[in-house]
């Protein structure tokens, strides 16, 4: 194992499988098609926009490399290790990612670099560095002691352009089982740590470097500096990728491609579909019709409030209250997967019916974002996010797909939303599962239970906002437990429901920690819920992290 995954779930030794674990047992009611090739909206500007190509060898941090490069306002694309876009003149540099494999593994991914090295600046990270050293006649061996975590640079050749501004003592993050033990004469060591002599190297006479540590992770203190040295100084990146430039080019592109065609888009209230709608609205105005379905499992007044927000944003939006249909279909259903399927199918039926009322629709727009689409995530042969495809909405409706955000990371989607003038409360919304409160009511669903949960949830979320805690947590909500317990209110014995509060911190929902909210705040929320929500006499706080728990209870 060479690029042992850096994060907790790595213990499973299935770095790619994390994505499967994360998603495939869910049924998102807004089906998304994930491969770039499936979307018909071609953005020719991508061939004009200068870019860094990240060749993905399956590392858990490949996406992180992409995010770091984008944070430098440089456009980049992540492609599988064997799909370099030869002939694309807009590529100004190449980064090779890490990998779960050893260069010696039979299954190790091996890229053909002959047409890349020497023609374009190249930076190999971890496995990427080992692969280039090994294929150039160097030696790679299992490290005497495996190196994970922090290390300090002891010697640095500050004259090398990759190491500009990086001093001895700088902390770097290691995560590898193999190490480079010998390099050809044409390679120079440009920094070392106590245990790793060849921490980064430079291939003389070539614009090619390799680093054993991970500059993309937060704990490599000068990692951004190193990436900037590569992307800006060495590759000559103009750093012209910004939310504003993205909007200008995408709007122009959408106008050209969609012409006078009509487009439908399903709004969920979430950030991605909302930003996609506003962007499309800017491009094609009333030719975009948005459909927002209330399945009855939304938060308190959410349908009304979000619909109002959408109208204020000038969107042409149809709100459909289909809650009665969903309550009827969900009656008596306790199995979480059944609930998801019922809601998924119901959503598609309602959406389809509404969309058919609009004449001459040609396109279905979706808020698919980059992490959903990175084809390379399945390079080890594992299908990811299959749940997003289950609905089959695009197939059923026989529409062409338009996914204007499909090259953006989540934080970029938010930046685009902000630049489009969307209000903060829409942009900063916590993630909310497609099946909504249905998966937060353990057991069967009734309108009365939804009412109880909506009220408790409202108190918790409003409390977070009032105490300036909302933006400090990744996601929060209340779960209605299938238990009743004894309490006493006034002189009366009560036998009522219990709810659990759940608030987590996270960066991507793949791992999460319970949010350490102040006791006083929890006490206030608990009191408010018990005093104001009829039917609840007990409040618990969920202090489980993910893994081993998940964020949602079902």
Interacting residues toward ligand XMP by CB under 6 A:
26-28, 340, 431, 433-435, 439, 475, 509, 546, 550-552
- In the residue annotation, 216 being an active-site residue is answered as yes
What is the distance in angstroms between the CA of the first residue and the CA of the last residue of the chain?
Answer: 34
From the CB of 54, what's the least distance to ligand XMP, in Å?
Answer: 25
483 membership: H or E segment, kind and range: strand 475-489
Q: Based on CB atoms, which residue is closest to ligand XMP, 422 or 439? A: 439
Q: Based on CB atoms, which residue is closest to ligand XMP, 226 or 510? A: 510
- In the residue annotation, 214 being an active-site residue is answered as yes
Helix (H, G, I), strand (E, B) or coil at 432: coil
DSSP secondary structure letter of residue 120? B
Helix (H, G, I), strand (E, B) or coil at 355: helix
DSSP secondary structure letter of residue 346? H
How many Cα atoms occupy the beta-carbon half-sphere of 257 within 13 Å?
22
Contacts of 219 (CB under 8 A, 6+ apart): 149, 150, 171, 173
Chain centre to alpha carbon of residue 240: 23
Contacts of 225 (CB under 8 A, 6+ apart): 164, 165, 166
Q: Based on CB atoms, which residue is closest to ligand XMP, 79 or 515? A: 515
Sign of CA dihedral 331, 336, 337, 342: positive
506: number of Cβ within 10 Å: 17
From the CB of 481, what's the least distance to ligand XMP, in Å?
Answer: 16
Residue bearing tokens 């494999």 = 101
Q: In this structure, what token pair is assigned to residue 70?
A: 């984008």
- Cβ atoms of residues 362 and 325 within 8 Å: no
Q: Based on CB atoms, which residue is closest to ligand XMP, 312 or 543? A: 543
386 sits in the region (left: phi over 0; alpha: psi -120 to 50; else beta) called alpha
Q: Based on CB atoms, which residue is closest to ligand XMP, 237 or 434? A: 434
The closest of 270, 219, 280 to 61, measured between CA atoms, is 219
- Cβ atoms of residues 55 and 95 within 8 Å: yes
Contacts of 459 (CB under 8 A, 6+ apart): 525, 528, 529, 532, 533
Helices (H), 320-478: 323-330, 336-356, 370-373, 393-397, 410-419, 424-427, 447-466
Q: How far is CA 521 from CA 7, 85, 415, 463, 499, in A?
A: 31, 53, 31, 8, 16
DSSP string computed for 26-92: ---SS-----GGG-----THHHHS-EEEEEE-S-TTHHHHHHHHHHTT--EEEEETT---TT-TTEE
Catalytic residue, from 2, 214, 295, 388: name it.
214
188 membership: H or E segment, kind and range: strand 187-189
List residues with catalytic annotation. 126, 214, 216
């Amino acid at each position: 194992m060479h690029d042992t995954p850096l994060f907790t779930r790595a213990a499973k030794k299935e770095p790619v499988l994390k994505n499967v674990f994360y998603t495939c047992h869910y049924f998102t009611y807004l089906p998304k098609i994930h491969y770039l090739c499936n979307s018909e909206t071609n953005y020719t500007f991508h061939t004009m926009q200068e870019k860094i190509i990240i060749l993905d060898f399956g590392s858990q941090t490949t996406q992180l490399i992409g995010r770091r490069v984008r944070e430098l306002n440089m456009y980049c694309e992540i492609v599988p290790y064997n799909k370099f876009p030869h002939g694309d003149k807009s590529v100004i540099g190449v980064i090779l990612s890490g990998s779960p494999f050893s260069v010696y593994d039979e299954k190790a991914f091996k890229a053909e670099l002959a047409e890349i090295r020497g023609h374009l600046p190249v930076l190999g990270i971890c496995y990427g560095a080992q692969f280039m050293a090994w294929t150039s006649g160097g030696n790679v061996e299992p490290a005497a002691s495996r190196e994970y975590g922090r290390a300090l640079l002891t010697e640095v050749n500050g004259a090398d352009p990759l190491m500009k501004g990086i001093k001895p003592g700088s902390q770097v993050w290691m995560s590898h089982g193999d190490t480079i033990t010998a390099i050809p004469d044409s390679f120079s060591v440009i920094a070392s740590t106590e245990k790793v002599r060849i921490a980064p190297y430079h291939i003389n006479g070539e614009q090619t470097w390799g680093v054993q540590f991970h500059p993309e992770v937060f704990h490599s203190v000068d990692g951004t500096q190193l990436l900037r040295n590569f992307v800006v100084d060495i590759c000559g990146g103009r750093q012209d990728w910004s939310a504003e430039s993205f909007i200008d080019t995408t709007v122009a592109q959408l106008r050209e491609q969609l012409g006078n065609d009509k487009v439908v888009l399903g709004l969920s209230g979430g950030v991605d579909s909302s930003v996609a709608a506003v962007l499309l609205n800017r491009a094609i105005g009333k030719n975009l019709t948005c459909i927002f379905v209330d399945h009855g499992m939304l938060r308190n007044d959410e349908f009304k409030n979000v619909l109002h927000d959408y109208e204020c944003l000038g969107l042409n939006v149809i709100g459909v209250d289909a809650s009665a249909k969903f309550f009827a279909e969900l009656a008596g259903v306790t199995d979480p997967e059944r609930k998801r399927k019922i809601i998924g199918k119901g959503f598609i039926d309602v959406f389809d019916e509404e969309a058919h009322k609009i004449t001459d629709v040609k396109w279905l727009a979706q808020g698919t974002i980059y992490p959903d689409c990175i084809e390379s995530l399945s390079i080890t042969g594992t299908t990811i996010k299959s749940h997003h495809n289950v609905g089959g909405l695009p197939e059923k409706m026989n529409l062409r797909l338009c996914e204007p955000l499909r090259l953006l990371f989540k934080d970029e989607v938010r930046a685009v939303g902000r630049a489009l003038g969307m209000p903060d409360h829409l942009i900063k919304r916590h993630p909310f599962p497609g099946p909504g409160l249905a998966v937060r009511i353990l057991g069967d669903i009734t309108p009365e239970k939804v009412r109880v949960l909506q009220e408790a949830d409202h108190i918790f979320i409003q409390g977070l906002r009032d105490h300036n805690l909302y933006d400090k947590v990744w996601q929060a909500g209340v779960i209605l437990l299938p238990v009743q317990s004894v309490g006493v209110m006034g002189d009366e014995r009560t036998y009522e429901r219990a709810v659990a509060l759940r608030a987590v911190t996270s960066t991507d929902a793949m791992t999460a920690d319970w949010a350490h909210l102040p006791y006083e705040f929890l006490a206030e929320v608990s009191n408010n819920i018990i005093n104001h929500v009829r039917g609840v006499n007990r409040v618990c706080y969920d202090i489980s992290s993910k893994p081993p728990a998940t964020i949602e209870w079902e």
